[in-house]
Every structure is written in structure tokens, then in C-alpha cells.
A and B are shown apart, each in its own frame.
Chain A
Amino acid sequence: MSRLVHRLGWPGTLALFCVLGFVAVGILAPWIAPWPAQGAGAPNVAAKLTPPSADYWLGTDHLGRDMLSRLIYATRISLSNGMLIVAFSLLIGLPVGLAAGYFGGWVDEALMRVTDVFLAFPALLLAVLMAAALGPGFLNSVIAVSVTWWPWYARLARAEGLVLRGQPYVEAARLAGVSHPRIILRHILPATARPLTVQAALDVGPALLTAAALSFLGLGVLPPTADWGQMVDAGRKFFPDRWWYSAMPGVTIFIVALSFSVLGDALRDRRKGAARASV
């Protein structure tokens, strides 16, 4: 524990536990939600818009569903949303970036100009356009955000590829007649894994935030699936008299976003420190 604090600092450690806590909540949703059926979407109209109480700790929504259970179930959706976005983006960005970095020349030029086209659009705007074109739905929102996300990985992977292709062990492999795909797969990819994994893990937070923004705009999951962004939106019109409806998911998003960004900062500081120490 103290070693963890030493490495990440107090805020970083706290953030790490928050993130792990959310992952645990997401995995264990059906077992820890006080009203699992309502979390999954079963209406309970008799109790609609109840303020926080002993039965419903965080109040209920416009169909009488327990906010706490809804938030717990939404954690599932949001986390898997974030992870899928990052996975999809890696799937596209990694090969594109590695190829560009490793081969250089016209391959690099061609691939990176395509990447630049995607980067030229404001990320959220492009995601909204994509989502609007594809229509709402869980998978569609994942695809929409991934489209704006992969270029970052392509750039990162390209930088790594550029550095690694000049390394003596790579040149040795090439002289030994190893084929290009094999070099990329066996000698370059493993070396890029560490920086990319850290980046990817940290990106889950911002990715799920973007997905929440989409569902706030009505372009995310389909009802009755719970989602933080969609809950903030649904509660908005009741806000003056029923603060808890928008506030609870809002606070949840706030905590998750803060945790991921604090953790990200802590890890970045640590990497910088390590880099300096090794020089």
C-alpha cells in the first residue's frame, strides 16, 4: 500500500481505487443493485419521481425505477462502452500507425494524410454526425466514437514504429531475411505494447465520457437500458423540482471523470520521473 502511495501519490492512489471500485460495481451489478429488475429497466410507475428515501436511497426516475440501481447498471454499460471504444480504436489505429512508422515513405504519407482527415474534425462533432447517421444504439455509439478515436493510436503507434525500425535488433532481423509482417508482429508490436496499454487504459475514461455525451444527446443506448448521459438528459426537464434525477448521474459522471484524469496524471508524472531517472 505504502509503495503504491509512494509511486502514485495520495490522489493517484485514491483515484485508482475509485476506478477499480467502478469496475467492480459494473461487474457485480446484478448482485449489489438493491432493485436489479428496475436497474435493467422494469418500470415501477407507482413510485415515480420519489425523492431519496429509505427504500430508494437516491430517489426514483420518471418511471419509478430506483436511481441507485439504474446508476449501477449504467456503470456496466458505460465501462463496456469505454473499453469497446478503446479496443475498436486500437484495432484500427495500431496496424495503420505501425505500418506507417515501419515502412515510412509513401506508405507513411498516404496513411497519415488519411488519419489527418479524421483529426481535422472536432472529435465530438464527428462522433455526433456518425451517430446521427448510424442511428441510436449501443454498438452504433461505440462505432461513432471509435471513428474519432483511432487516429490518436495511429499517431502513437507510428511514433513507436519510427523509433523501433532503426533499432539494431530490427535491422538484424531484416538482414536475416525475416519478412516484414513477421518483423512487425514479433519484434515491433511487443515493444510498443507497454506505452500503448497504459494510454489505452487511461483512455477508457474519456471514451466513456464521450459516449455519455452522445447518449445525453439521444444518440446512445436504446431504452430501457440505463446510461448516465441519457439519465442526465431525461432528468433535465424535472430539474427545478426534482433535483436528484439529473444530479445523481451527473455526480457519478463527475467522479468517474475526475478519477480517470487524476489517475492519468499520476501515471504520466511517474513515467516522466522514470524517464528522467534513466537518463
Chain B
Amino acid sequence: MKRRDFLKTSALTALATAAASRWNLALAQGSGIFTLAYPTSFPDLDPATSFSNDGAVLANVYEGLTRYIPGTETEEARIEPLLAESWDVSEDGLTWTFALRDGVKFHDGSPLTSEAVKGSIERTKKIGGGASFIWAPVASIETPEPLKVVFVLSEPQPLDLIASAGFAAWIQAPASLEQDNAWFNAGNDAGTGPFRISRYEPGQRAVLERVADYWGPVPEGAFQTVLFEIVEDTTLIQNMIEGGQADWTYSVPFENLEQLQANPDLRVVVNPSFETLFGLYNTRRAPLDRPKVRQALSMAFPYDDVIMAGTANLGTRAKGVVPAGIWGHDAEAPIPQTDLEAAAALLAEEGVEGLELVMTYSTSQSLSAIAGELWKANLEAIGVTLTLQPMAWEAQWQLAKSDPATAQDIFVFFWWPTYVTPYDYLFNCFHSEDQPLFNLAYYANPEFDAMIDEAARLSGVDRPRAEQMFIEAQRILIDEAVAVFMLDRPNVHIIRSDIKGYADNPAYGHVTFVNDMSR
């Protein structure tokens, strides 16, 4: 029965592909179309509550006040004006004043005003879904002038960064503020971006059309239409990008990239992502409550092998929890090297024998599985038994949030920030919590807490000092081996070589800003 069903599904998929590609070809002849083969659907197109892959669509339709441009080897990270032209912060870091861009129109023709900004953020806060928590420090929003908006905060926070967030920071037209979630998910939009949604078939595709009077610069030969084709099968995705039915995609397995790199029609763009993989040790349970035992386990982790086997050498060694490209990244971090002899010696010194550990990870994360399998082999060599326990994410998280005494020994997962600040990583995963949420190492260190809290307070007013403190805090984590920092995941996007003006921005994950591109 299983086999017959499988055949039926394959046949259907083949039919669907044939139909889809015919359609694509017909459209592609019109040229001005940019097709993205996207491996996941878009669960929520409401700008207030979207908190998933829907950002890929919404980022081309809506805009926020600012945009984050990550640092490179030659340039420092910076925050670019978007709907805001400029901004100021008061000395105490509590009052932020944004000057809005003049002449910006929403897709319904209404102008961008400070009232619209206030209304959008208040709607997002009121609904309280998705990433709305980023606005928690905002006590009130004032609109002294049509193009001037003032945020009063309850504690000093870097609001320019918060406003650049990939979710929950989009500004929507006043007329749409009363609409409910269903209205947005029917394919309606109310943004200021270069495109508007013209057709939306949930689970199948989204089609965006260029708006006539976009405020920003539009390159010559820019795309008129953006087509998101939802294709879940990675093999199919690979066929589409190789055959020219798609212009952009991701989620092709790392091992298959070599072949794509050799193809002159394709460009494989590899950048660091802001996603980092690590394993939190259960610091409440013996013998993992002793830093030296944790250090020994981290020394037994096969860092280079995992990067090689899991990411075809495209990933990079994690240096603490804040990945490269984010301010507060510690390039000089004293990270441990794989050294089984030293690890065995350290365990012997601590008098630990016959240690048995359970590592949990999410079933859908094949990279975690590879890390686990390779680590397990190394640990076996030094007399530690590691049991790998893949679980559905909800179950893995539920177990970890329950009693630390009965929870896992090592909790492996990816973390990426909602907006670009080291505090996001350090606070969520390592700040002490009364009730475990994401600090699943159950780590509690008042000195560390005070340090990152102070750094967060300073990050709005004295960023260099804050950065220094964040780095010091990360050194504490490395020194006490609270977690094993495995790798920073590479962001790999594949794009047809005839596309001009493509720039990856890891701050926004798998989002492509189509406005800047042309064929």
C-alpha cells in the first residue's frame, strides 16, 4: 500500500511540475519576471504577526523605518535609512526621534505619515503575535509633526536596530489598520514597498507586481513581476534552477553545490548566516554542573569534521554564540580545539567514569544529526556514551522546559536573532530564568546577567563600550563551557548568472530584495 501511494504521489508531482514549468516558460518569455523557487509555504501574510518564511514576500511589499546592512571584511555593519530619513537619540537613550521620508505613498495612495507609523506599531503591539515583543520597551509613541515620530522608551534600547527587524517592524497604511488577519491572508496588502501582491494561492505561489510610483531608486531593466513558486522537494528545486525555470533558490543540499558551482549559468552565493548551532549543557545535573567536565566534552567535539561532513566546508567555526557579521562577534575568542587525549585526561582528573549522556535535537535538523553522530563516535573513544534523541521540536522544547533534573543532558538547536543585537542571543539563551524558556542550559550567573544587562543599556548610547562588554560576557560562557558552540551555518543562495544587482543580506535570512535587481 505504501509503495502504491508513493508512486501515485510521484506521478502527481511530475504532472504538477510539468504544468508549472509550462506556465513558467510562458511567463519567462515576457522577461521582466523574477522567479523564486521557495521550499516552504507562507503561513501568515499579516505584517503584524508574520514570523516565518512569509518574510520573503512581505519584505518586498512592506518597509520598515530602517534596514540593517551587515558588516563585511572591508566594511563595518551599519543601519541604513529606509522609511525614516534620519534619527536622533536623547542622551539617556530613552527618547528616539525619527524623521520620516517625504513623498512616500502606500499602495492605496495614502501618504506615509507619523500617524501611520504610530498606528502600525500599535496594531502590532495590540495583536501581540509573532515578533511583536521587539516593541516591548516602547512606552509611548508621539506624533508632533506629520513627518516626525517620537518614541519614548521605558528602558534604554537600540531602537534603530529594533526598527530594522525582519519581522513586526513593517509600516502599513492607516486604512488597513482595522483589517483582520484573514484580509491579509486573502492576498491583500497595504505596504509602501516596490511591489504589491497581485495574486496569492496559498501553498502554491504568490505573484507580486511592481507599483507605479515607488519612492526609491529603480534600476534600468528592473523586474516588473516577482513570482514565488512554492516547491517543497529539493530535487525538484535543483532541477528548476538548473533548467532556468527559477532564477533564485536555496535549500539545495550542500553536497550538491559543487555541481552547481561548475555550471556557468548559475552563481552560488555563500555568506555567513546569523544562524548558529550549539548544544546547551544541563548545568544543573552532576557531573555536568562542573565546568571542567563540560570543557572535556567540548574538547571531544569534532568541529572540523562536522563542518566538512555537514556543510561541505561552507560553514564556519562558531566563536561563541554571536556569529560573524553581527556587532559583538568575538573574532579572537579562545575556542577549544578538538583534542581527544586532553579531553580524556581532563575527565580522568575529574574522576568521571562511564558517563552516559542524552542529547536531544529536532528531527528536521539533519545538521544536528550529523553533529551528534560524529560527536558520539569521538566520545565513545574517551569512554562517554552519548545517546542521540531526535524529537519533534515542540516535544524537544517541552521536555527541556520541564524539570531540569529529568530533562536532557545536552540540548542542541539553532538560534538566530529577531533583530540584530548580541543581546538577543546572550539574553535568550544564557540569562538566568526563573522558569526555563530558552536558557536550556539552566545557567545562572549573576555576574554574567549584570554584564549583558548593562551592555544592553549602553547599546543605544555607547555602542563600542557595549560591544566590548558583550565580548567579555561571551568569554565567560566559553571559559565555563556552558555550551558547545558547534558552527555558524552558511547562507547559500543560488541565483542565475544573468541576474544583475544581487546582494545577500543575512540579517533577513532567506529574503531577497528584488527591487535592486535586473536581468
Contacts and interface: CB of A to CB of B under 8 A. Distances in A.
A222 B374 contact: no
A241 B256 contact: yes
A142 to B, nearest CB: 17
B388 interface: yes
Contact of A218 (B239, B363, B374): B363
A189 to B, nearest CB: 32
B47 interface: no
Given A218-B390, A236-B235, A241-B255, 13 more contacts: A43-B305, A43-B373, A45-B305, A48-B255, A62-B309, A62-B370, A64-B309, A122-B1, A213-B2, A224-B377, A238-B253, A239-B235, A241-B259
B388 A222 contact: yes
Given A41-B377, A43-B309, A213-B2, A237 B370 contact: no
A229 to B, nearest CB: 10
B421 to A, nearest CB: 34
Given A238-B255, A239-B235, A240-B235, A224 B309 contact: no
B387 interface: yes
A43 B372 contact: no
A21 interface: no
B234 interface: yes
B256 A224 contact: no
18 contacts: A41-B376, A41-B377, A43-B305, A43-B373, A45-B309, A48-B308, A48-B309, A64-B309, A122-B1, A124-B2, A136-B389, A136-B391, A223-B369, A223-B373, A234-B366, A238-B253, A240-B235, A241-B259
Interface of A: 41-43, 45, 48-49, 62-64, 122-124, 132, 135-136, 209-210, 213, 218, 222-224, 234, 236-242
Interface residues of A, dominant DSSP:
loop
Interface residues of B, number: 29
B308 A237 contact: no
Given A135-B395, A222-B388, A223-B388, A43 B256 contact: no
Contacts, number: 73
Interface string B308-343: 110000000000000000000000000000000000
Given A43-B377, A237-B253, A238-B253, A223 B390 contact: yes
Interface in B359-393: 363, 366, 369-370, 372-374, 376-377, 387-392
B234 A237 contact: yes
A167 B498 CA distance: 84
Contact of B389 (A122, A222, A242): A222
Given A45-B309, A218-B363, A224-B376, A135 B391 contact: yes
A223 B308 contact: no
A232 B317 CA distance: 30
B164 interface: no
A213 B392 CA distance: 18
B256 A240 contact: yes
A1 B395 CA distance: 55
Contacts of A240: 235, 238-239, 256
A43 B304 CA distance: 13
Nearest to B304: A45
B365 to A, nearest CB: 11
Nearest to A136: B390
A242 B388 contact: no
Contacts of B372: 223
A94 to B, nearest CB: 25
Given A64-B309, A224-B388, A238 B373 contact: no
A63 B309 CA distance: 6
A240 B240 CA distance: 13
Contacts of B389: 135-136, 222
Contacts of A62: 255, 309, 370
A222 B385 CA distance: 14
Interface of B: 1-2, 234-235, 238-239, 253, 255-256, 259, 305, 308-309, 363, 366, 369-370, 372-374, 376-377, 387-392, 395
Contacts of B377: 41-43, 224
Contact of A63 (B363, B370, B392): B370
A41 B388 CA distance: 12
Contacts of A63: 309, 370, 373-374
Nearest to B253: A237
A271 B315 CA distance: 61
B233 to A, nearest CB: 9
A240 B305 CA distance: 24
Contacts of A210: 2
Contacts of A123: 1
B91 to A, nearest CB: 54
Contacts of A122: 1
A138 B235 CA distance: 29
Nearest to B391: A135
Contacts of A234: 366
A231 to B, nearest CB: 13
Contacts of B387: 222
Contacts of A64: 309
B235 A237 contact: yes
B308 to A, nearest CB: 6
Contact of A43 (B239, B259, B366, B374): B374
Nearest to A210: B2
B188 to A, nearest CB: 36
Nearest to A133: B395
Contacts of B369: 223
Contacts of B239: 240
B431 to A, nearest CB: 30
Nearest to A123: B1
Nearest to A42: B377
A240 B253 CA distance: 11
Contacts of B256: 237-238, 240-241
Contacts of A239: 235
B313 to A, nearest CB: 11
A186 to B, nearest CB: 39
With most chain B CB atoms within 10 A of its CB, the pick from A213, A224, A237, A239 is: A237
Contacts of B374: 43, 45, 63
Contacts of A218: 363, 390
Contacts of B259: 241
Contacts of A43: 305, 309, 373-374, 377
The 5 closest A-B pairs by CB, nearest first: A45-B309, A237-B253, A224-B373, A45-B305, A213-B2
A45 B308 contact: yes
